Amino acid sequence: MTITLNTQSPVIGDLVIPIVQTVTLADQLTSLTQQLGLSDEVLQRDFKAEAKEVLAVYGPNGQKTYLLGLGTDPQEMDWLRSFRKFFFDHKTKLPAQLGIELSAFNGAIIEGVVLGVRGGGYDLKLYQTDKADGPVFFSDAGELTLYVTAEQQTTAQEALTRAEAIAQTQRQMLDLMNAPANYKNPQTLADWTMASGSQYRYAVTVLDKAELERQKLGALLSVSQGSDVPPVLIIAEYKPEGVPNPRKVGLVGKGVTFDTGGVSIKTSASMHLMKSDMGGAAAVLGTVEVAAKLKLPIHVIGIVPATENSTDGRSTKPGDVVTAYSGKTIEVIDTDAEGRVILADGLGYMMRNFQPDVLIDLATLTGNVIAALGYHAAGMFTQNDTLAAQLTEAANQTGEQLWRLPLWDVYQEDIKSDVADLKNYSGKPIAGAISAAKFLEVFSEKHPAWAHLDIAGMAFADTEFGSQKNATGFGIRLLIAYLQLLLAENK
């Protein structure tokens, strides 16, 4: 399906008209009565412009118009979700050609609209053998026209370009996250990154098990010991051409392609969802690719320690002491607190080899952050107020929300070990997300602009795509918005 802009008024054909619920709603509906062939009384009665509300009307010439409610004061995420649900629910009924009337709105909202449209075409049935042919609208024959004014065109085109770049990458990340462990492993992530780097011209290095052993990434290796599938460290580096001394942003993402919990094994009830434990990796790899696609004038390094966390006779046992890449020793109290252990090597490798100006890690790290914030925000931990404000601004812009939690030194006691430099788990049923962040802070080597994002409640969630939790792609839009904020501030 192709998407184009048009500065002419729509004349004929099926059309979607988004409507915001404002004090002028009655006047807006009255102005549509002749176009829709309805009486004002009927339209006022049947459509209230509530968020995601849809009213379908056949016009006098046989064309079909959908009124799509957006609720009051819709933000980018509201546009995205309203359009995603509309196109997901109606995709089998839509014609090959469709228009959306957007001339009454700022051109910037097109990013949310396009991401919603593209998202509505997502098919979670990755391995079903009896799937029917896909909807014609989302086939190569599909054509979507976005009607804007001439004054909107420049802003709208920028938003469309950005949205298309993000949507394509995000779809691939959804597929990777939704894939079960027998269809993906650490090397699968490495192969994807190498293919992406080749296509979009950024550097990719993959350290295999032998190289990890040679360079002594003992924390990552310790988590992988119980699996027949070898671990890798993926290093993706996008450096813009012709930009002198660009800002350098380091991103580290947890890439556990399946997590049994190891010897500290999880209960079976939800273990099948642990194919999602690579949400941080998806955000990091996706962000590097989108930055390269958009040719952002900023240096971005993504590092993903990738492994399975399985269990057999070789598995790391509770009480074992392992040595990280940085030289720090870790007492492994709980093998199911493995994400922070592999991130220790990811952060250490980033600091020792790249010295970024900004360092951000993302991980589906703790159930405790879900207990604190539910499924509406990721936990943000940083000692840097400026970085916290920038990430919060990006979160508010995209709707991928963050909430700052404390990193007070009093929590340092929770990771104090009797036999090693630190331990990976406090053993307490409280403040687990904070103690995990304090653990990671050690391996950030006191970087003045470091932030940890615990995305456990956001990367895998209930959506319209399926009957159980599935991937959301959380983090890519957030990080791209953050990078663009950095660029705007440095102009």
Q: How many CA atoms lie within 13 A of 325 on its CB side?
A: 26
pLDDT tens figures, 181-204:
999 999 999 999 999 999 999 999
CATH number at residue 98: 3.40.220.10
* Residue 17 · residue 67 · CB < 8 Å: yes
pLDDT at 128 over 90: yes
Assess whether 381 and 323 both reside in one domain: yes
* Residue 420 · residue 414 · CB < 8 Å: no
pLDDT at 490 over 80: no
Nearest CA to 205 among 237, 173, 227, 231?
A: 237
Binding residues for Mn(2+): 254, 259, 277, 336, 338
* Residue 315 · residue 326 · CB < 8 Å: no
Distances (CA, A) of 332 to 1, 230, 339, 415: 50, 20, 12, 11
Assess whether 322 and 193 both reside in one domain: yes
Mean predicted confidence (pLDDT) in 310-335: 98
Domain carrying residue 203: 181-489
pLDDT tens figures, 407-450:
999 999 999 999 999 999 999 999 999 999 999 999 999 999 99
Q: Of the residues 164, 193, 228, which one is the last residue of a structural domain?
A: 164
Report yes or no on 170 lying in a domain: no
How far apart CA 364 and CA 254 sit, in angstroms, is 7
pLDDT at 489 over 90: no
* Residue 220 · residue 263 · CB < 8 Å: no
Assess whether 158 and 208 both reside in one domain: no
pLDDT tens figures, 49-88:
999 999 999 877 778 999 999 999 999 999 999 999 999 9
DSSP state of 152: G
Q: Of the residues 164, 199, 219, which one is the last residue of a structural domain?
A: 164
Q: Of the residues 164, 195, 218, which one is the last residue of a structural domain?
A: 164
Extract the runs of DSSP E, i.e. beta strands, from 48-142. Answer: 54-58, 64-69, 97-101
Burial class of residue 267, CB neighbours in 10 A (0-12, 13-18, 19+): exposed
* Residue 387 · residue 402 · CB < 8 Å: no
Report yes or no on 174 lying in a domain: no
List of long-range contacts for 41-48, beta carbons under 8 Å, 24+ apart: 47/19, 48/21
**Mean pLDDT computed over every residue of the chain:** 96
- What is the reported pLDDT for 59? 78
* Residue 379 · residue 434 · CB < 8 Å: no
Assess whether 146 and 283 both reside in one domain: no
List of long-range contacts for 23-27, beta carbons under 8 Å, 24+ apart: 25/49
Catalytic residues: 266, 340
* Residue 414 · residue 438 · CB < 8 Å: yes
* Residue 94 · residue 137 · CB < 8 Å: yes
Mean predicted confidence (pLDDT) in 104-127: 96
Structure tokens that stand for 30 in this block = 């009255």
With a pLDDT cut of 90, the percent of the chain lying above it is 92
Assess whether 222 and 148 both reside in one domain: no
Binding residues: 254, 259, 277, 336, 338
Phi, psi of 329, deg, nearest 5 = -100, 140
Structure tokens that stand for 290 in this block = 């989108």
Report yes or no on 277 lying in a domain: yes
- What is the reported pLDDT for 375? 96
How far apart CA 358 and CA 447 sit, in angstroms, is 8
Assess whether 417 and 471 both reside in one domain: yes
Report yes or no on 176 lying in a domain: no
* Residue 297 · residue 243 · CB < 8 Å: yes
Task: Please tell me whether residue 321 adopts helix, strand or coil conformation.
Answer: strand
How far apart CA 47 and CA 26 sit, in angstroms, is 10
pLDDT at 132 over 90: no
Q: Look at the chain and report how many structural domains it folds into.
A: 2
How far apart CA 157 and CA 314 sit, in angstroms, is 55
Report yes or no on 173 lying in a domain: no
Assess whether 368 and 414 both reside in one domain: yes
> What strands lie across the sheet with 15-19, from one edge to the other?
2-6, 143-147, 97-101, 15-19, 64-69, 54-58
pLDDT at 12 over 80: no
Assess whether 263 and 309 both reside in one domain: yes
CATH number at residue 379: 3.40.630.10
- What is the reported pLDDT for 9? 86
